[in-house]
Structure 1
Amino acid sequence: MDKSEEKRGIMIEDIINGMLDWVRVVDRENKVIFVNKAMAQGIKDCKTDELCYKLLGREAPCENCISRNAIFNGTSYCKQEIIDDRIFSVMSSPVKNQNGEIVAAVEVLRDVTELHMLQEKVMLQNKKLMDDLSLAKKLQCNLLPKALPDNKIKFSFIYQPCEELGGDFLDIFEVDNDHLGVYIADVSGHGLPASMLTVFLRSAIDKKTLSPSLALSKLYTDFSNSNFDQDAYITVFYAVINLKDRSIKYSNAGHNVSPIIFNLEDPDRFELLMIPGTPISNWFEKAEYNEKELLLMKSDRLFLCTDGVIELKNKKGYQFGEDRIRNVLFTDKSEPSSTLSRIIEEAMDFAQIDDFSMIKDDITMALIEINEDK
């Protein structure tokens, strides 16, 4: 060996000895022929010319000896080992001589104990978070509308958040014996922050007033006084249905999908409940809302939705759109729940989606039918 090769060998050994990872070389007879300084310091009575497994304090070869595999198969292998209650990531690679023959395996052992402890901690925290989200989802779902007396209206809805917690919301409730309140909302964002806005909405909206515009004005004031972020907002369509004289009053706080009134017995019956209004936010000091009133007919249906199902796209980038929704509404004479299910089925077929987990936005729809007098 000339001096240049000798210097090169010394330099390589110095590099290996400077590594914090443990490094050792095992020959074809399972004997350790080299250990670096870190391993020599890390294992008591560490010495060469010792069987590889005895160097680790064991009486028999490892069941899955990756160094043997590396030597006889000529490729690298990885596994984890526990040594003195520490967890090591071990990689073994074949070592060849000048003739290309595999004469040994070099093992690099990295202590990953702290990393494993951190991973376990993260997993426990994630589990706690998922448990908390699951509980929050149950609580949010419990805030959704319950069954109303069936002699007043037929009502069905679909509420499907794209995440564990949703940013859409809806509710229908009795204001008094003759009036029902109904609203649909879409808040900024998704997940936990968005769900907190839906909780605020349900708790803050005035369910006693017969004026939708007044309810939205009060809601705007409460929101702007609640120190929400500047980019947080809620769009709300709110209506009060008078069951006694068959009328509906409605107002809008920036909800971009206008509800519609239609009647399956009268193909010419179609009313778009369109009215402008500022989203519930803290963008302005105060906001004023207008309201409109419309007379209802027997068997009229009121459809409300957020933009999730409308903006659902197929592979060509085309949206499902409002026209396809209306085509189902105007032709499906089944119960409201079946009609909504058909809309979902056609939307998912259009987008070639197998399950809701592939949908990137919340989907919320409601269908109300005014029953005939009983």
Structure 2
Amino acid sequence: MDNNQDKRKLIEDIINGMLDWVRVVDKDNRVIFINKAMAEGLKDFKMDQLCYKLLGRDTPCENCISREAIFRGSSHMKQEIINGKIFSVMSSPVKNESGEIVAAVEVLRDITELQLLQEKVMEQNKKLMDDLSIAKKLQCSLLPKALPEDKVRFSFFYHPCEDLGGDFLDIFEIDKDHVGIYIADVSGHGVPASMLTVFLRSAIDRKNLSPSSALTKLYKDFNSSNFDHEVYITVFYAIIDLRNYKIKYSNAGHNISPVLFNPSDAERFELLRIPGIPISNWLEKPVYTDNEISLEKFDRVFFCTDGIIELKNKKGEQFGEDRLRNVIFNDKSDPNSTLAKIIDEATKFAEIDDFQMISDDITMALIEIKE
């Protein structure tokens, strides 16, 4: 008997040492035990008092989880507001030695500060999402709008894997005889990467008719901006001469070479391959060079980043350059329809409904010489 009393005393001491409120409610809704923390928190309490009256209420709770615990024999949880504080309440059945449920034990934890903190986090998260939405609109507003289509037609597809992307492209009129186009892939994703795309858009020399000179200036401007050593941008930049029907291009580390081809001539195919270091602070004086190729009527030039090529199916196979080229070489429709065909083939290959499920940015552009 003394041993049982010692055990009971030890259990009561443990429960009374808890910071959480603990009480036991019998089948008649009367409080038959209350720990020290709850007694001090409520102050004016009486043993055998109805459980809801102990909380300062005149009627039973609509969602009485202790009643549920007693009659269903399982634990239940809810939140309650007591004296202006928010509590998480867990009620579990209490059984006697015969296994009969005779009461319910409630553990009430004060989560007021946690709840307020959660609300602040949600508020800050909403503000962040609003800011990201504005930033995404800004980034999208920097994408190419339109070009005079008397001599060229173009289409592009841009899809960031996050709200803000690290890929970027621009197509613009330099003067009445020249069109510039560049495609870029920035290290990383999200906000830091998007800021680099904004830098690229604002810093690249849109009047210089030498792509290599424009990239050299861009490299110098990048190094003057004190970016981290780990940050870099790969850029392929081309200028189309519409008077003399030539394309001049240079490369700053972009690993996917654009393709020059003609849907009407199976023999007309060339990779616009040329070396060059990414826009970074890795070297003091990088060397960029120009290459030039003559254009013919209905020639097309396809630009992309590695996202579409590295898109994988469930077997781990990549969409790859062969599948990509098979589409662009055999589809003779307008550039917009050709890119739509690529998107359709890629989503079927990867067995996805749309590009929302991919883990990399996907950017493509297709230019066609009309005359």
- TM interval, shorter chain, is over 0.9
| Aligned mates of 2:178, 2:146 — CA distance in 1 | 15
- Does residue 1:289 correspond to 2:288, yes or no? yes
Amino acid corresponding to residue 48 of structure 1 in structure 2: M
Q: Write the deviation string for residues 261-320 of structure 1: whole angstroms up to 9, x where unpaired.
A: 100111110010000100000111121101100000000001000000000001111100
Amino acid corresponding to residue 90 of structure 1 in structure 2: V
Gaps of 5+ in 2: none
Q: Is the 8 A contact 1:305 1:365 kept in 2?
A: yes
Give 1:175 deviation, angstroms: 1.2
Paired residue for 2:24?
A: 25
TM-score by length of 1: 0.98
| Aligned mates of 2:31, 2:354 — CA distance in 1 | 56
| Aligned mates of 1:313, 1:47 — CA distance in 2 | 68
Give 1:152 deviation, angstroms: 2.4
| Aligned mates of 2:305, 2:240 — CA distance in 1 | 20
The aligned runs of 1:29-68 (5 Å cut-off) are 29-68=28-67
Q: Is the 8 A contact 1:46 1:55 kept in 2?
A: yes
The aligned runs of 1:96-245 (5 Å cut-off) are 96-245=95-244
Counting matched residue pairs gives 371
Amino acid corresponding to residue 122 of structure 1 in structure 2: V
| Aligned mates of 2:151, 2:144 — CA distance in 1 | 15
Give 1:177 deviation, angstroms: 1.3
Amino acid corresponding to residue 336 of structure 1 in structure 2: P
Amino acid corresponding to residue 274 of structure 1 in structure 2: R
The aligned runs of 1:86-101 (5 Å cut-off) are 86-101=85-100
Paired residue for 1:268?
A: 267
| Aligned mates of 2:175, 2:287 — CA distance in 1 | 25
Paired residue for 2:349?
A: 350
Q: Is the 8 A contact 1:258 1:272 kept in 2?
A: yes
Q: Is the 8 A contact 1:144 1:171 kept in 2?
A: yes
Q: Write the deviation string for residues 162-212 of structure 1: whole angstroms up to 9, x where unpaired.
A: 000000000011111111110000000000000000000010001111000
| Aligned mates of 1:125, 1:214 — CA distance in 2 | 44
Q: Write the deviation string for residues 112-167 of structure 1: whole angstroms up to 9, x where unpaired.
A: 01001000000000000000000000000000001101112101000000000000
Q: Is the 8 A contact 1:78 1:89 kept in 2?
A: yes
Amino acid corresponding to residue 286 of structure 1 in structure 2: K
Amino acid corresponding to residue 209 of structure 2 in structure 1: L
Give 1:85 deviation, angstroms: 1.2
| Aligned mates of 1:103, 1:251 — CA distance in 2 | 83
- Does residue 1:82 correspond to 2:85, yes or no? no
Amino acid corresponding to residue 269 of structure 1 in structure 2: R
Helix, strand or coil: the match of 2:162? coil
Amino acid corresponding to residue 342 of structure 2 in structure 1: I
Amino acid corresponding to residue 370 of structure 1 in structure 2: I
| Aligned mates of 1:343, 1:44 — CA distance in 2 | 72
Give 1:47 deviation, angstroms: 2.1
Give 1:238 deviation, angstroms: 0.2
Helix, strand or coil: the match of 1:23? strand
Helix, strand or coil: the match of 2:301? strand
Helix, strand or coil: the match of 1:309? helix
Helix, strand or coil: the match of 2:308? coil
Paired residue for 1:314?
A: 313
Give 1:354 deviation, angstroms: 1.1
Amino acid corresponding to residue 71 of structure 1 in structure 2: I
| Aligned mates of 2:285, 2:36 — CA distance in 1 | 73
Q: Kindly report structure 1 stretches of 4+ aligned residues shifted beyond 2 Å.
A: none
Q: Is the 8 A contact 1:40 1:47 kept in 2?
A: no
Q: Is the 8 A contact 1:16 1:23 kept in 2?
A: yes
Gaps of 5+ in 1: none
Amino acid corresponding to residue 31 of structure 2 in structure 1: V
Paired residue for 2:335?
A: 336
Give 1:84 deviation, angstroms: 1.2
| Aligned mates of 1:157, 1:222 — CA distance in 2 | 27
Amino acid corresponding to residue 213 of structure 1 in structure 2: S
| Aligned mates of 2:297, 2:47 — CA distance in 1 | 95
| Aligned mates of 1:75, 1:358 — CA distance in 2 | 40
| Aligned mates of 1:261, 1:355 — CA distance in 2 | 28
Give 1:22 deviation, angstroms: 0.3
Paired residue for 1:252?
A: 251
Helix, strand or coil: the match of 1:193? helix
Q: Write the deviation string for residues 78-131 of structure 1: whole angstroms up to 9, x where unpaired.
A: 000011111100000000111111100000000001001000000000000000
Amino acid corresponding to residue 289 of structure 1 in structure 2: Y
Give 1:44 deviation, angstroms: 3.3
Q: Is the 8 A contact 1:216 1:253 kept in 2?
A: yes
Amino acid corresponding to residue 213 of structure 2 in structure 1: L
| Aligned mates of 1:147, 1:338 — CA distance in 2 | 17
| Aligned mates of 2:237, 2:27 — CA distance in 1 | 80
Give 1:34 deviation, angstroms: 0.5
